[in-house]
Amino acid sequence: MDGNDSEQLRETPLRAVHEALGARMVPFAGYLMPVQYPAGIIAEHNHTRQKAGLFDVSHMGQAWLKGPDHETTAKALETLVPADVVSLEPGRQRYSQLLNDDGGCVDDLMISRSAYPGMEGRLYLVVNAGRKDVDYAYLQERLPDGIAVEPLPQWALLALQGPLAEAVLATLLPRVAELDFMQGAPFEFEGAGIYVTRSGYTGEDGFEISVPEQKAEALWSALTADGDVMPIGLGARDSLRLEAGLSLYGHELDETVSPVEASLLWSIPKHRREQGGFPGAARIQREIAEGPARKIAGIKPEGRAPAREGTVIMADGEEVGVITSGGFGPTVGGPVALGFVPPALVKPGTKLDLMVRGKALPAEVVKLPFVQKSFKK
Amino acid sequence: MATMKFSKEHEWIRVEGDVATIGITQHAAEQLGDLVFVELPDVGKTVAPGDEAAVVESVKAASEVYAPVSGEVVEVNSVLADEPGKVNEAPQGDGWFLKLKLSDPSELDGLMDEAAYEAFVAEQG
């Protein structure tokens, strides 16, 4: 979701820090956010792949979903998402989608079972900035009495991503090294409780750190004091996630797109595919059985010209689809894109033409991700 | 020494005889950020002021470069096809885009000199 200049922009607790670093600030999802720092998007991207990048993602929506016990809360949420939430162990995290009755995505989100002692029955949710108001209203409306959504606007969120993320963060919080991918735990920073999950949106190993807003700047400073850490803006966040083949809401996902179409079937476990029990289950089960009308594929344009969102995809002279995200992948060293094509064309090696400025640009379907993920095993 | 003129679209023009070398300004290059692709016109193409003369793509977005004056394209900086980053390194030097044989040198009078351009950029914030 892009920002809108006409409305009052919200800001994160780190706005002044970004401006002092010389960031270029742009409206994004209703927030004034750093799109890049003076180093530039390519340098920021490469630094994240090689060392460690620090992102302010405090615009993301963080919330508790609170119920009397884990099973009750998890079962309630499972009526709206197709993931297995019930089997989550304390501290474990899963990626899923909030679905509407047509099986389209209201949002995509991260769901963690709280690892806080004495906080049984709580799930910690992280949702997209541009969708949080819609999500919270939808959750509250559709969940039964006794399950409450509690947004956490006074919490900032920092992401530290890259192969050196563990070494850097462990200098402050030694026990983060014990976390597995998609696992979180509470920690203490300067006397304040913070919550760290081993997750991210770059295809690299890394952490997301939920911190009270009054401690955000101190944590940012403590992390950037390490010479291996560079601040990274939303521009590189986008090129990193695109190379990792990760969906972005408003591009690959929206209210009309099902998880099957978005090539996210991996996030729906077998028993939930069979049993349903989430909104739009009939459509999703039909798409699993018969194939969806369209599917997200990785697309590599030949040459150097990027194909942007909205570019028409042709095959054998016919219009067959559209690019949903497209740009330059610094690690790939060339243009990369995601787009909808008919399922018959998702096979790697399929030749496509992309209509860029009136000319057919040759391209090929490739296996995702464009860059091999380096998550902690 | 040849004089440099500047357009409100953030191009620079350096005239030697009846040939103008054209590129984008330091300010424009900074605003665009890292360039990853430059599409240049065919030699022999004629352009009028305001016509699309080239396309530049940064990591984030595509932008047009407009012809500030009319003329015929007599040379393009083909190095940019493989090394678009040259524009960021030296936008007013090795990162030039194209050379035009001017068809109406009087159009240059409508462009800014360096001091006026700097004031224009400062005014835009």
Sorted by where each begins, the domain ranges of chain B are: 4-124
* A226 lies in some domain: yes
Question: A49 and A158 share a domain?
Answer: yes
* A99 lies in some domain: no
In whole angstroms, what is the distance from residue A259 CA to residue A270 CA?
A: 14
The two structure tokens encoding residue B74: 């007599």
Q: Locate the DSSP E strands across chain A.
A: 10-11, 24-28, 31-36, 52-56, 61-66, 93-99, 105-113, 122-127, 148-151, 155-161, 184-189, 192-197, 206-212, 229-231, 295-301, 312-315, 318-329, 334-341, 351-356, 359-366
Question: Which runs of consecutive H residues, i.e. helices, occur in B33-104?
Answer: 79-82, 85-89
Reported ipTM: the value is 0.87
Pick from A207, A175, A211, A174: which is nearest to A190 by CA? A211
Other C-beta atoms lying within 10 Å of the C-beta of residue B125: 4
**Could you give the 3-state DSSP secondary structure of residue A61?**
strand
Residues facing residue A359 across a β-bridge: A356
Q: Which domain holds residue A28?
A: 10-61+154-243
CB proximity A41 to B under 8 Å: yes
Pick from A230, A326, A166, A283: which is nearest to A36 by CA? A230
Q: Establish whether the linkage from the previous residue to A369 is cis, with ω within 30° of 0.
A: yes
In whole angstroms, what is the distance from residue B108 CA to residue B92 CA?
A: 18
Q: What pLDDT was estimated at residue A2?
A: 46
Q: Residue type at A89?
A: E
Question: Is the pLDDT reported for residue B99 higher than 70?
Answer: yes
Q: Which of A41, A42, A308 sits opposite B62 (nearest CB)?
A: A308
pLDDT tens, position by position, A24-79: 999 999 999 999 999 999 999 999 999 999 999 999 999 999 999 999 999 999 99
Pick from B79, B112, B115: which is nearest to B97 by CA? B79
Q: What pLDDT was estimated at residue A374?
A: 82
Q: Residue type at A120?
A: E
CA distance, residue B60 to nearest chain A CA (Å): 7
Which chain B residues have a beta carbon less than 8 Å from that of A36? 33
Which chain A residues have a beta carbon less than 8 Å from that of B55? 357
CATH code, domain with A193: 3.30.1360.120
User: Domain tally for chain A?
Assistant: 2
- Cβ separation of B57 and A305 shorter than 8 Å? yes
- Pick among B59, B79, B80 to test the A interface (most A CBs inside 10 A): B59
pLDDT tens, position by position, B28-51: 999 999 999 999 999 999 999 999
Q: Which of B33, B62, B82 sits opposite A41 (nearest CB)?
A: B33
Q: Report residues of chain A scoring pLDDT below 70.
A: 1-7, 377
Q: What pLDDT was estimated at residue A1?
A: 43
In whole angstroms, what is the distance from residue A97 CA to residue A220 CA?
A: 30
Q: Which of B33, B39, B60 sits opposite A305 (nearest CB)?
A: B39
Question: A205 and A353 share a domain?
Answer: no
- The radius of gyration of chain A from alpha carbons, rounded to an integer in Å, stands at 20
* A377 lies in some domain: no
What fold does the segment set B4-124 form as a domain?
OB fold (Dihydrolipoamide Acetyltransferase, E2P) (2.40.50)
pLDDT bucket at B10, cuts 50 / 70 / 90 = very high
* A320 lies in some domain: yes
Range B102-106 average pLDDT: 94
How would you list the strands of the sheet with B46-47, edge to edge?
B4-6, B11-16, B19-24, B98-102, B71-76, B46-47
Q: What pLDDT was estimated at residue B1?
A: 54
Question: Which runs of consecutive H residues, i.e. helices, occur in B1-125?
Answer: 26-32, 79-82, 85-89, 114-124
The two structure tokens encoding residue A309: 């969102």
CA B104, B109, B110, B115 torsion-angle sign: positive
Question: Which runs of consecutive H residues, i.e. helices, occur in A98-142?
Answer: 132-142
Q: Name the packing angle between helices A165-172 and A213-224 (round to 10°).
A: 120
Closest-approach residue (CA) in chain B for A327 = B59
Q: Which of B34, B61, B82 sits opposite A40 (nearest CB)?
A: B34
CB proximity B48 to A under 8 Å: no
Q: Which of B36, B58, B62 sits opposite A304 (nearest CB)?
A: B36
Q: Residue type at A131?
A: R
CATH code, domain with A329: 2.40.30.110
Question: A229 and A302 share a domain?
Answer: no
Which of A200, A217, A243 is a domain's end point? A243
* A158 lies in some domain: yes
- Cβ separation of B59 and A35 shorter than 8 Å? no
Which chain B residues have a beta carbon less than 8 Å from that of A327? 59-60
Exposure string over A31-56, b if 16+ CB within 10 A, otherwise e? bbbbbbbebbbbbbbbbbbebbbbbb
Say how many CB pairs under 8 Å bridge A and B.
46
In whole angstroms, what is the distance from residue B119 CA to residue B125 CA?
A: 10
Q: What pLDDT was estimated at residue A375?
A: 83
- Cβ separation of A235 and B59 shorter than 8 Å? yes
CB proximity A3 to B under 8 Å: no
Q: What pLDDT was estimated at residue A8?
A: 87
Question: A170 and A230 share a domain?
Answer: yes
Pairing relationship of beta strands A10-11 and A52-56 according to DSSP bridges: unpaired
Q: What are phi and psi of B81, to 5 degrees?
A: -60, -40
Question: A25 and A160 share a domain?
Answer: yes
Question: A308 and A182 share a domain?
Answer: no
The two structure tokens encoding residue A348: 């790697």
- Cβ separation of A327 and B39 shorter than 8 Å? no
Q: Dihedral through CA A161, CA A162, CA A167, CA A169, nearest 10?
A: -10
Residues facing residue A34 across a β-bridge: A25
Residues facing residue A109 across a β-bridge: A96, A127
CB proximity B43 to A under 8 Å: no
Q: Residue type at B46?
A: T
Question: A160 and A42 share a domain?
Answer: yes
CB proximity A42 to B under 8 Å: yes
The more confidently predicted of residues A232 and B3 is: A232
CA A287 to chain centre: 24
In whole angstroms, what is the distance from residue A114 CA to residue A134 CA?
A: 23
Q: What pLDDT was estimated at residue A7?
A: 64
In whole angstroms, what is the distance from residue A199 CA to residue A208 CA?
A: 6
Question: A360 and A235 share a domain?
Answer: no
Q: What pLDDT was estimated at residue A98?
A: 98
